[in-house]
Every structure is written in C-alpha cells, then in structure tokens.
Structure 1
Amino acid sequence: MKKEAFSSRKRSFKREECQADLVIIGGGMAGTCCAITAARQGLQVVLVQDRPVLGGNGSSEIRLWILGATSHMGNNNRWAREGGVIDEILLENLYRNPEGNPLILDTILIEMVSNEPGIRLLLNTAMYDLVKSSPDTIESALAFCSQNATEYLLKAPLFVDASGDGSMAFLAGAAFRIGAESADEFDEPFAPDDTYGELLGHSLYFYSKDTGKPVRFVPPSYANREIAKLPRFKSFNLKDHGCRLWWVEYGGRKDTVHESETIKWELWRVIYGIWDHLKNSGEFPEMATHTLEWVGTIPGKRESRRFEGDYMLSQKDLVQQRQFEDAVSFGGWALDLHPADGVYGDLPGCTQWHTKGVYQIPYRIMYSRNLKNLFLAGRIVSSSHVAFGSTRVMATGAHNAQAVAMAAVLCQESKLLPADLLVPSRMKILQNRLIRSGQYIPGLRLSDEAELARQATLLPSSTYRLQGLPMDGPWKSLEFAMAQLLPLTEGEVPGIRVRLKSSKATQLRVSLMGSKRKGNFTPELILAEKEFEIASGESTLLIDFECTIKNSEYYFVAFSANDLVQIKTSNTRLTGLLSVFQKFNKAVATSSRQEPPEGIGMDSFDFWLPERRPDGHNLGFELDRSVQMFSAENLCNGIFRPTSQTNAWAAALDDTEPSIELRWDSEQKIKEIKLFFDSDYDHALESTLMGHPEHVVPFCVQRFSISDHQGNRLAQVRDNHQSCFTLRFDEAVTTQSLKITLEHPSATTPAALFGIVCY
C-alpha cells in the first residue's frame, strides 16, 4: 500500500515533460490530419485533444458529417473532393461504415493516429498556459489531463493551433478578430449588417428510434414548452434527426468563446422542447412508439476567433477564383452565413451563395503574422468573416491542415520558420511534396525532376478509346435538362447518336455548351444549338453540331427539359465521364439557378448536378469517330484527378489482363512507388447519418500487382479501396522496368489509373 502523511505544503500534480518536433493543440479533423501527415513524414508529434475522442465536430460527441468543396454534390464543383489524409479517412469510413455510424468513425480516427509511432496522443488533455522565449516565439505549452491527473510540459520548435477557438494563439498574444468586417474593409458586398448579425451560432443534434411499443416522454423542466410559437416553427422539419438538424442553432448574439456553456443550455431547451412537441402535442401520432436515443452534450461550434496571417482571404478571392503563387489547398463550399439569432429569429437558417468553381487557398493564411513559430489550422485561419463562411467546413480545414503539416516538415528539415517558406524555390518544394502525398492544388501539377516515372517509356497493354457507351441502361426521363460531360479535343466536334422514347410527337433542343473559365464546370457558353422534331415512340437521333472547338477540355452535350421524352442511358461507368442535370439539391440551394440579390458580389448561374449512385448513369451514345481521352501519357502529367481532361489511362474492357509497363534505358534504384487510383472525387462521402450504396467506389481498382524486370512480384494487393497506394522499400530495388497489372473493377467499368510516381 501507499501511505502519505499530512503535508503542510501544497502538493503538485504529477508533471511529465514531452519534447517533440511539432506540438498540435486540438484533435478535430484539422489537428488529426495535421498530426498524421507530419508523423508520416518523420516528425515526432504531440497531439493534444481536450476531449475523449478525435474528430471534433465530426466525432460521435457532435455527429456532424464531414464535407467540403463537393457540398453534397449540390454545386458545379466536379471531382472536387479533398485529397490526402482526409480523403483516406473518408474512404476508409466508406469501406467500414457505409451506414454512417459516428461511433465507427471514432474508431477509424483513433486507429489511424495510434498506428503512427511518431504521434504521442494526449486525450482528455487541455492546454491552459504557455511560455514564450521572446515576444514573438512560443517555447512551450502547459496542458492538464483530468483523467490521469497529470500535467504536461510540451516543448517544440514549432506549434500548430487547431483548437477551434484559437486557445494557443490567443494566450500567445496573436492578433485576432471576432465578428464581421465592414463591407468596405475588403470590398465585400456580402458582408452582413447588424440586423443579420456578425457571428454564426452553435448547433446541437439528437437521434431517435422506434421501439415498437408506446413510449411516453415527460419533458425536463428546462425544456422550451413554447417551441411552436417560434417565428420559424412552420418551416422546421421536425422528423429529421442528427446533423440534418443543423438549423437548431443559437448563440450568434453571444460570446461564442466564453458563453459556450450558456449557449448549450439554451440548445438543450430547444431540443427537448422539439421532442416534447413531437411526443405530446397530439399532432404526430406516428411518434408514439419513438424514444430519444441520443442528445448531444457538446454543441457543434461554427465560429469564434479568426487569427491574422500574412494575408487575409476575402470574398473576391473566392468568387473570382484568384490565383496565388503560394497556393497549397483549395475550397469550394458555398459562402455560407447564418443569421445570428438562429432558431429564435425569423430569417431563413442560412444564406448560401456558391462560386462557379473551386478556389485556391494560399499558404500565407495558415500561420500567425505575430508569432514566428505558430501555424494556424482549422476554422481559425486568416480570413474575413465572409470568406470564413466557406473555409470553415471540416474537409476544407483538414485539407489546409495537411499543408500546415508538410510546411512544418520542411521547416524542421531546414531549421526554418513558417514565413521562410514563401521564397519561391521553397514554396515549389512544398507544393510538390503536397501533390505527391495526394493533396490537390487547383492549377498545379507534380513537377519534380527527381521523379523517375516521367523518365520511363510507358507501354500499356491496351488503351480505352471512347467510341460511345452501350445503350443498355435504364430510360431516363428528361423531366430536367440533362447533359453528358465529354472531354473533347480541339477540332471538329464528333457527331453523336442517341436513343429516345417519346409519348407523343414533340420538339427537343440539344446544345453544345462550355465554361468561360477552363477547369470550371459551369456551362455559360452556348457554342452550338440544334432543334429536332421527335416522333412518337422510340427513335434514334443523330446530332451533328457542325462546330469546331479551339480548346481541349470538358463540354456539355445538353438536352432541354421535356417530360414527354426519355433518353436511353448506359450501365458502363467510366473514369472522368458523367452526366449532370439542371436541377438543385435542397440541402444547399433553393433553385436550379442561383440568382443572388443585386449588389452582394455573387454570380448568377445555373446548377448542373450529378445524381448519386445507384443512379447517375451516363448517357448511352455512339460517336461517329472515337475520342482519345485515356492516353498512357496522362500517367506522368502530375495531375491525379479529372480537371479539364480525364488525366487518366484506362485499359480496354476486353483486355483480360490490363497492365502498364514502365521501361527505362538503364537500371534505376527505386525506393518508393505510388499509384493513384480513381475513387470518384466527384462523390461526396458524408461521414455520418447519410448512408452510401457501396463500400468501395465502383471505379476503384481493388486488385493489382507490381513486378520488376525479372518478374519478381514486389506487391500484390487484393482489397484496395483507397485513392493512393504507396509501396516503400527498406532497401532500394534495382530494376530496368516495372509492370503494374490490374483487374477491371467490374465487367462494365474498365481499370484506370491517374498516375504512377517513383523515387
């Protein structure tokens, strides 16, 4: 036993000192992805999380789905899901958890962090103080774990604040802002006035379940029994649950840092008031057998402090899709502001205006302009309130944080500080390392002279040539205008033959459309248009636009809405090919055309949206000449997703053993091989609540092998479901060739690769 006598002096908690290369405060999605990225690059990392699980707003404690530029597939951002570690997490969650159980996501995050030997994870540990070695340099942080009564002294040359409220940056004295800037400061016409409010509030979610027997509910005394009198009550969808209850929001008129507990209590009042109304008002008899399964105890916080970096992102950066020399990430969620009064106001729950495409995010917003060794990650990065309305979402914050981690790696390798990386030569190294790791930066490609695959001769066993797609899919009504996206090369547009079925004679307009900005998927330009007389019954339609195009990129072959007509689709699914419809997703829009009020600085345009699987069939069609869209040369162009072209090689479907061989003129020493697969970056992978129809994306090659020039098998994989596969060797392999042999994902989906990278 242990026995201690009375001490007249105050005792101290146990203290442990931790020395690391990088200390990260905050274990939300940003901090988690930052830690994994840094540790995989060899840094010793301490990750401090004040909760018992990782994931922040995405964890089982709060249960918000992870989204970013794909925006529920409700905007014109095609193939825009974030890359790198956050993509790996979402694909692993799809594989293990297509039902969207938030508890399973918890296990994935904990597993991925604990599998990295370079990460020291401190859960239930809150940072409460720090020490500065000089006015602009952090030396160490102090944190306390309530579960093991231990105080930690955390020392490192570099720190990351991913805490959500910016706890470390605040204590260190960094410049910050709370609330909305005036419209004049950054020339932001969308900046809200005081009637709308300067801050987004918190939300709290609940789950219910049907027990199959009557369940009564006695509300707690603090429940809001007058919920039906709220101004917006009639617009509430009371039968939703989980994060579909995002509109249960409050706190935008409060101090969202120091009054967070007060806000939580008010949200409890609202939640239990809603449930009381459902159970006891008599208006919902079908809820008699339902019970509350879970109510959040921690609200999902949207906004508090934003810290100042060497640049502040603002509205026009996003809307105009400005280019940055220091671009390291991207965004694409709507500029999404919420009225400060939340559920107690009479304004709609949010105001969302989308950009025409994704936008670059510069590195300069990811470190403090005041503290030399402090990075910023998550929702506290340097942006105006309006731009924050888009950058704040979890997948965007996580993608930014991966850039922060790689920047920290470069700083540690060369004994630099964050701002030192702005030198163009260093920034190029950072961008290349990010792209190599799976990060996507719009407009940039991997450009590394040391990379070996680009020096090889590529020998494919076959190449898929697009002559059309079999007309073997279901008939699709033209209730909405439909378009097939086609990556066409400059020159004469090929003739297109489709199969139609009409209930009576009618007319149909077919247009060839394009985007004003290369790489966008907002069709604003009508390049050619034809009007056709359609007979009753089934018929074949030949479309010859008699048009020549100057730019090689994606074009829309668009069929006008006509509910008398159905068009034949295809069961073949093909990398970089999809159909879209002129309609809207009510989760992120209210109309198939965005028409913002005059003078708020947002664009008007039509939404052309894909359908989710198991729908989302391509058009069935025949071309009068084939289109070359899958050249093996794409494998070394340094872009690993569709952009203005497919950027992929695909094998012919009748190739029974598709392969690609890399052959060099002399022997090469290879330490690492990376393969980039098609995990359908167009598909939003909401992590919780929303289910998905598959556990592996149908385009993704699951089975493949890698062999050297002597036929020695270097790797054989049978269950791949990730975008990026990395094979590292303890000792470099010497070979004059590599052969990658793939299996087609299915009989109707050819094997495809976006890239091969060797070092």
Structure 2
Amino acid sequence: MLQENFSQIARKNKTVITQSDLVVVGGGLAGVCAAIAAARDGIMVTLVQDRPVLGGNASSEVRLWTLGATSHMGNNNRWAREGGIIDEILVENLYRNKEGNALIFDTVLLEKVTNEKNITLLLNTSVYEVEKSAPTTISKVHAFCSQNSTTYILEAKLFCDASGDGIVGFQAGAAFRMGAETKEEFGELFAPDQSYGELLGHTIYFYSKDSGAPVKYVAPEFALKDITEIPRYKSLSDKDFGCRLWWLEYGGRKDTIHESEDIKWELWKVVYGVWDYIKNSGEFPDAENLTLEWVGTIPGKRESRRFEGQYMIKQQDIIEQNEFEDAVSFGGWAVDLHPSDGVYDSRPGCTQYHSKGVYHIPLSTMVSKNIDNLFLAGRIISATHVAFGSTRVMATCAHMGQAVGFAAAQAIKQNSAPLQLLEKENLKQLQQTLSINGQSIPGIAIDENLNLIAEANVTASSTLALNTIDFDGEWTSLEVAVAQLLPLKANIKYSFKFFAKAKQATQITVQLRTASKSKNYTPDTILETKEIELHEGEQFIVIDFEASTSENQYAFVTFLSNENVSLQSSNSRYTGILSVFNGQNKAVNNTGKQTPPEDVGIDAFEFWIPFRRPKGQNIAMEISPALTDFATDNLTNGFVRPYGAANAWMAALNDKNPSLKIAWEVEKEVSELKLFLDPDYDHPMESTLMGHPEDVVPFCVRNYTIKNLDGTILFEKKNNYQAINSFTFDANFKTKGFLIELEQAHTTVPVSVFELFCH
C-alpha cells in the first residue's frame, strides 16, 4: 500500500534524466529513419514522440499513404523510390501488409525502432521546453508523458527536430518562416498570390465499410448542414474513403500551429457533414449498408514552420534539377500547392507541376542556420514555400531523415558540429556512408576503392545478352501511345522486330526518343521518326533506325497512338527494362502532358508512365545487336538501382541456378558482405489503403547460398524479400573468395544483382 500525508509544498512529477548522443524529437517517418540510421551507426539515440504510435501522417491515427519521388507512378521519375531504411520499411510492409492496413504499418514501424538496442523510445511524450547552454547551443529538452506522469529531461550533444511544427527549433530561437515568399525574393515564378493563399491546410480522413444490412445514420449537431458549401461536393462518392479524400482540407488561412484544434473541429464538421450527405441525400443508394467505421481524431497537417538552414532550396533547384556538392537526398514529387481555403475553395484542390526528373536535396538545408547542434528533418527543412510543395511528402522526408541520422553519428564520432560536415572530406565520407546503406543519391556511386570486390576477379555462370523479349504475351492496343524503355549503347544503330495486328490497312508512326538530360526519363528529344505501312491482320514489322544515342543512356522505342493497331507483348520481365505509356494519372495532375502557364517557370512536357503489375508488360521484340548492359562489371560500378543504365548483372533467362564467383589472388580479411538486390524501385509501395498485387516483387532473389571457394557454406538465405542483404564475419576472418549460388524465383524473370560490396 502507498500512502502519503498532506504536503504544503506542491508535489513534483517523477523526473527522469537521460543522456544520449542524439535526441530526435518527432516520431514521424523522418524522425523514425533518423533515429534508426544513427543507432545503426553506433550512437545512442532518444526518440521522442508525442503520440501513442509512430509514423505521423502515415500512422493509423491519420492514415495517409507514404509517397515520394515515384508519385503514384504518375510522373517520369523511373526507379525513383527512396532507398535505404525507408525502402526497407516499405518493403517489409509490402511483405506483411500488401492490402494496406494502417494498423499493421504501425507495428512495422514500432518493431523497426524497438529492434534497435541503441534507441530509447518515449511514446506519448511531448517536448515542451528547451534549455540552452549558450545562445547557439541546445543543452537539453524537457518533455512530459501523460500516460505515466513522468517528466523527462533529455540531455544530448546533438538534437534533431523532426517534430513537424519545429518545437525544438522554435524554442531554441532558430530563424524560421511561415507562409509564402513573394516571387521577387527568390525569383520563384510559381509563388502564389494572396488570393491563392500562403499555407496548405489540414485534412481528416474517414473509413467506411459494408455491414451487410441497412445502417441508419444520424449526424451530430455540429456536422455541416449544407453540403453545397463545399464547391466540389458533386465529386463525392460512396466508393471513396481514406486518403483518396485528401482534398477535404481546411485551415490554410489560419495559424496552423496555434489554431490547429479549431481547424480540427471544422474538419470534423466537414467529415460528418459529408457522411450525412452520402448516407441521407438519396444520391447514393449503394450506401444503404455502409457504416462509418473510423474518423481521424487528429488532422493530417501539411504545413507550418519552415526553418532556415545553411541553404534554402527553391523552385529553380527543383525544376532545373540543380546539382549540389553536399547532396545527401533526392526528391521528385510535384511542386504541389493547395488553395488556402481548401475544401471551401471553388478552384481545384491542388496545383501540381512536375520536374522532368529527380532533384538533389543538400545537407545544408538540414543544418540550422543559427543553432550549432541542431539538425532539421522532415517538412521543416530549409525550403521556400514553393519548394516545400515538393519536399514535404513523407517518403522524401524519411529519406532526408536517414541522411540526418547518419550525419549525426558521424559528427559524434568525429566530435564535430553539424556545420563541419559540409567540409569537403567530411561530406565525402558521409555521402559514402549513405551510398553503402542504399541512399542512392543521384550521381554519387559507392567508391570502388572502398569495395574489396572491385579488386577481385568476378565471373558468372551466365550473363544476359538480350536479343529477344519473348513473343508470348497478350496484345497491347495502341489506343494509347506506348514505348519500350531500353538501355542503349552510344553510337550503335539498332534494329527492332515487332509483331503487330491491324484491324485494317493503316500506318503507324515509330520514333526513337531520348531524354535531353541523359539520366532523366522524359523522352523530350526525338532522334528519328519512321512511318510504317501495315496491312490488315497479323504481321512482323522491322524497324531499322539510322540514328543512335550520343552516350550510353535509356532510349524509348515509341509507337504513337493508332486505335486500329495492337502489338504483342511479353510475359518476361527484366530488371531495368520497362514499357511506358503516354497515359493519364489524374491522382497526380497527369493528363498525358504537362502544360503550365508560360510565366510560372515550369517546363511543358509529355508524361510516359508505366502501368502497375500485373499490367505493364514489355513489348515483345527482337533486338539487333543484342543489349549487353548486364555484365558483371555492374556489380562494382557503385550504383544500386537503374540510373542512366540498368546497373545490374543479370543471368541468362534460362539459367535457373546461376552463380557468381568472386576470387582474389591473395587472402583478404573481410568483415562484411552486402548484396544489393532488386526490390523494383519503380513501384511506389504506398503504405496504406492502396493495396498491391504481390507481397514480394518478382525481380527480387528469394533463395541463395554463399560459400567459401572450397565449398564451405558460410550463409544460406531462404525466402528473402529485402533489397539489401548484409552478412558479417567473425573477427580476423580471411578468404580468397566467395561462390554465390542463386535460385531463379520466376521462369519469366532472370536473376539479377545490382551490387556486391565487401569490406
């Protein structure tokens, strides 16, 4: 029994003082990835989250799908899903939860964090006060957990603010902005005027389900009474729920921090009014059996404070794809701004304009301009309002977060300040750490001098020479223009043979296209055009191009639309090879072509996008000369995804049990071996609601064995589904090489490996 007598002095909460190397405030995807990265790199981390679950807007409390540079596969950013820890998380979620249950995603995140022995996780714990030991140095933060009535005093050398609203940066006195810059300040022609507004609002989602019997609904008194107050109310459907209703937005004219509760109440008014309309207006007879299963209790917040860093990324950096020496991450979501009146605005719910490819995000946007030991992560990084329209999405935020985590670990080990990481040698070290952990910073390869495999003789049981994509698939109609995306060698003239079917005698236009920037996938340069006559019925057609690419890069063998013609497709799929269509994806403002106003500083171009599996088959063809982009040299070229080239070794399609032999002339002391496999970086892997056709992508090697050269089994892997497979060796382990024996998972997909890394 516990009994305390009356105290004349007010009692204090239980207080716990912790010390760590890094305190990460905010348990959204940015904070989660920052904490995991830092912990895996060997430093002690405290992760503070003011909610009962991790994930922020991706959690079951809000239920927004996680997206980034891939968009919804609706832009021209091929193989652009963010790599490293966030990829590991999304691939894990795909394997366990391809249906997109937000509750399962919660558990994936919690498991990833709690599995790290170097992380102390504090849930339901809100940071409310910052202490400084000097004007530009944070010494500790104070937090309170309402669930255990405990006050925490969290001391650390470094701090990462991933809190969304920037509570640490704000209280520490760091410079910040809130709202939109003028066109004149940074020369951003897309900067909105006052009528459009300066802030993006909040959204609350709801879920419905079929109960199998009629369900009545009586709306609460506070629900919106007149649905016509929502100009887009005719867009509502009883088939839509969750984050498909992202446009139920409000609050952009308010203080999105201090008036957030008021915004929430207005959104509840909207949501319950919308459901009342769906259930009781008579416009939706199919809704009779539907019941309201879930409504968010906290809103998904888009925008509040943005903090000033050593550099502020702007519109031109995104659209022009400017390169930075201190690049540590990349983005690719559209510049996506919303009218501040949100659901009550008669204009479209968003204005999205894409760049022609992915863009660099520099570390200098994540290092505070004023506070010496503060990193910025997530949506609060140093960006203008316009650039923020792209950098704010969750997978991009997570990718930046893991960069910050590895940066913090390096700073602790070097006993340096975050600003010193921008020095050339420190920066190079950080970029290599990130690359070795799968970050895939555009243009930055793993240094072969760090990779013992680069010193070895690497041979394979077979190597793919792609001269035929089998003629065994369905017919693909040219009602929509289609192109086959292929990695071609410079200055080689290629010939292609296709099998076509015409409803009547007609003519088709075939073009060889490339991207004006060789690492992009926007086919804005036409090298050659052919007009091909077809007779009625089935026939082979041969296309001999005289033009060729000036460097090794992807090219598009492009068939313009003709509704009377179909091409045979193939059941075979290959790493780094895709068919794309000049199609539409209304979810990301894609109507086949981007046509912005002339005066907003944004390019006009066509979209050529893949279909999701099981659609999106390759076009069947014969290729002469054969494509030879799949040699073992790719295993040490430093790139772990397609980037201007396939960058993968691929076995022959008929090699069911291929093998790789790595042999050194003398014994090497080895501590770790990494295999970088193909998790299909072109697939967005939305974390919730969307659902996916498979739990393991078809390109990923599932089973393999690693042996010493004498045949001794060192490691055996079964049922793999992750991209990066890492194996560590006991101290002083020495070997003259490895034999890696792999199994083909699908008869229509050859075995592929991007990179082998050993140190």
- For the criterion TM > 0.5, the same-fold answer is yes
Distance 1:377 1:548 in 2: 44
Report the alpha carbon displacement of residue 422 of structure 1 after superposing the two structures with TM. Answer: 1.1
CA contact (8 A) 1:432 1:448 kept: no
CA contact (8 A) 2:238 2:286 kept: no
Aligned residue identity for 1:566: S
Structure 1 partner of 2:80: 80
Report the alpha carbon displacement of residue 740 of structure 1 after superposing the two structures with TM. Answer: 1.2
Distance 1:744 1:145 in 2: 51
Structure 2 partner of 1:622: 622
Measured on the aligned residues, the alpha-carbon RMSD in Å equals: 0.9
Distance 2:160 2:504 in 1: 65
Aligned residue identity for 1:679: P
Report the alpha carbon displacement of residue 236 of structure 1 after superposing the two structures with TM. Answer: 3.6
Report the alpha carbon displacement of residue 745 of structure 1 after superposing the two structures with TM. Answer: 2.1
Is structure 2 residue 60 aligned with structure 1 residue 60?
Answer: yes
Distance 2:9 2:529 in 1: 88
Distance 2:571 2:28 in 1: 40
Distance 2:404 2:312 in 1: 16
Aligned residue identity for 1:94: L
Report the alpha carbon displacement of residue 447 of structure 1 after superposing the two structures with TM. Answer: 1.1
Distance 2:392 2:514 in 1: 31
Instruction: Look up the SS of the partner of 2:671 in the other structure.
Output: strand
Distance 1:730 1:688 in 2: 40
Structure 1 partner of 2:319: 319
Structure 1 partner of 2:364: 364
Distance 1:36 1:450 in 2: 23
Is structure 2 residue 713 aligned with structure 1 residue 713?
Answer: yes
Report the alpha carbon displacement of residue 284 of structure 1 after superposing the two structures with TM. Answer: 1.2
Is structure 2 residue 492 aligned with structure 1 residue 454?
Answer: no
Aligned residue identity for 1:451: N
Structure 2 partner of 1:549: 549
Structure 1 partner of 2:243: 243
Distance 1:747 1:523 in 2: 31
Distance 1:72 1:123 in 2: 31
Distance 1:624 1:129 in 2: 67
Structure 2 partner of 1:586: 586
Q: List aligned pairs for 1:697-712, cutoff 5 A.
A: 697-712=697-712
Is structure 2 residue 467 aligned with structure 1 residue 467?
Answer: yes
CA contact (8 A) 1:136 1:371 kept: yes
Aligned residue identity for 2:453: A
Q: How many percent identity over aligned positions?
A: 55
Distance 2:648 2:396 in 1: 25
Report the alpha carbon displacement of residue 583 of structure 1 after superposing the two structures with TM. Answer: 1.2
CA contact (8 A) 1:199 1:253 kept: yes
Distance 1:606 1:575 in 2: 24
Instruction: Look up the SS of the partner of 1:538 in the other structure.
Output: strand
Q: List aligned pairs for 1:133-148, cutoff 5 A.
A: 133-148=133-148
Q: List aligned pairs for 1:603-752, cutoff 5 A.
A: 603-752=603-752
Distance 1:185 1:237 in 2: 42
Is structure 2 residue 306 aligned with structure 1 residue 298?
Answer: no
Distance 2:655 2:213 in 1: 57
Aligned residue identity for 1:380: I
Distance 2:467 2:414 in 1: 52
Aligned residue identity for 1:407: A
CA contact (8 A) 2:238 2:287 kept: no
Aligned residue identity for 2:444: L
Q: Deviations over 1:57-105 (max 9, x none)?
A: 0000000000000000000000000001100010000000000000000
Instruction: Look up the SS of the partner of 1:511 in the other structure.
Output: strand
Distance 2:59 2:103 in 1: 8
Q: Deviations over 1:711-748 (max 9, x none)?
A: 22111111111111111124242100111111112101
Q: List aligned pairs for 1:152-231, cutoff 5 A.
A: 152-231=152-231
Distance 1:31 1:421 in 2: 20
Distance 1:513 1:18 in 2: 59
Structure 1 partner of 2:252: 252
CA contact (8 A) 2:75 2:590 kept: no
CA contact (8 A) 1:309 1:364 kept: yes
Distance 1:654 1:124 in 2: 54
Distance 2:730 2:447 in 1: 25
Q: List aligned pairs for 1:421-436, cutoff 5 A.
A: 421-436=421-436
Q: List aligned pairs for 1:2-17, cutoff 5 A.
A: 2-17=2-17
Bigger mean CA offset, 274-283 vs 689-698: 274-283
Distance 2:288 2:151 in 1: 50
Aligned residue identity for 1:115: N
TM superposition score normalised by structure 2: 0.99
Distance 1:92 1:656 in 2: 26
Distance 2:650 2:722 in 1: 17
Distance 1:493 1:51 in 2: 59
Instruction: Look up the SS of the partner of 1:185 in the other structure.
Output: helix
Report the alpha carbon displacement of residue 237 of structure 1 after superposing the two structures with TM. Answer: 4.2
Distance 1:470 1:737 in 2: 36
Distance 1:490 1:254 in 2: 55
CA contact (8 A) 1:35 1:45 kept: yes
Structure 2 partner of 1:127: 127
Label 1:730 to 1:259 Cα distance change in 2 as closer, same or farther (>3 A): farther
Q: Deviations over 1:127-185 (max 9, x none)?
A: 01111000000001111110011111101100000000000000000000000000011
Structure 2 partner of 1:571: 571
Report the alpha carbon displacement of residue 285 of structure 1 after superposing the two structures with TM. Answer: 1.5
CA contact (8 A) 2:590 2:607 kept: no
Distance 2:7 2:490 in 1: 85
CA contact (8 A) 1:329 1:400 kept: yes
Instruction: Look up the SS of the partner of 2:458 in the other structure.
Output: strand
Distance 1:532 1:653 in 2: 31
CA contact (8 A) 1:238 1:274 kept: no
Aligned residue identity for 2:245: L
CA contact (8 A) 1:515 1:522 kept: yes
Instruction: Look up the SS of the partner of 1:128 in the other structure.
Output: strand
CA contact (8 A) 1:90 1:687 kept: yes
Distance 1:546 1:110 in 2: 56
Q: Deviations over 1:606-660 (max 9, x none)?
A: 0000000001100100123212010100000000000110000011122232011
Aligned residue identity for 1:279: K
Report the alpha carbon displacement of residue 503 of structure 1 after superposing the two structures with TM. Answer: 0.9
Q: Deviations over 1:188-215 (max 9, x none)?
A: 0000010000000000100001111111
Structure 2 partner of 1:419: 419
Report the alpha carbon displacement of residue 451 of structure 1 after superposing the two structures with TM. Answer: 2.0
Q: Deviations over 1:239-289 (max 9, x none)?
A: 310000100000000000000000000000000000001111111121111
Aligned residue identity for 1:419: L
Aligned residue identity for 2:374: L
Is structure 2 residue 30 aligned with structure 1 residue 26?
Answer: no
Structure 2 partner of 1:518: 518
CA contact (8 A) 1:554 1:644 kept: yes
Structure 1 partner of 2:98: 98
TM superposition score normalised by structure 1: 0.99
Aligned residue identity for 1:205: Y
Mark the runs of 5 or more structure 1 residues left unpaired by the alignment.
none
Distance 1:45 1:305 in 2: 25
Structure 2 partner of 1:481: 481
Report the alpha carbon displacement of residue 448 of structure 1 after superposing the two structures with TM. Answer: 5.0
Structure 1 outlier segments of 4+, above 3 Å: 235-239
Report the alpha carbon displacement of residue 590 of structure 1 after superposing the two structures with TM. Answer: 4.3
Instruction: Look up the SS of the partner of 1:572 in the other structure.
Output: coil
Distance 1:308 1:757 in 2: 37
Distance 1:330 1:302 in 2: 20
Structure 2 partner of 1:331: 331
Is structure 2 residue 395 aligned with structure 1 residue 395?
Answer: yes
Is structure 2 residue 265 aligned with structure 1 residue 265?
Answer: yes
Is structure 2 residue 544 aligned with structure 1 residue 538?
Answer: no
Distance 1:108 1:638 in 2: 30
Report the alpha carbon displacement of residue 231 of structure 1 after superposing the two structures with TM. Answer: 2.3
Distance 1:492 1:408 in 2: 47
Q: Deviations over 1:348-379 (max 9, x none)?
A: 10000000000001000001110000000000
Instruction: Look up the SS of the partner of 1:163 in the other structure.
Output: coil
CA contact (8 A) 2:238 2:284 kept: no
Aligned residue identity for 1:213: A
Report the alpha carbon displacement of residue 591 of structure 1 after superposing the two structures with TM. Answer: 1.4
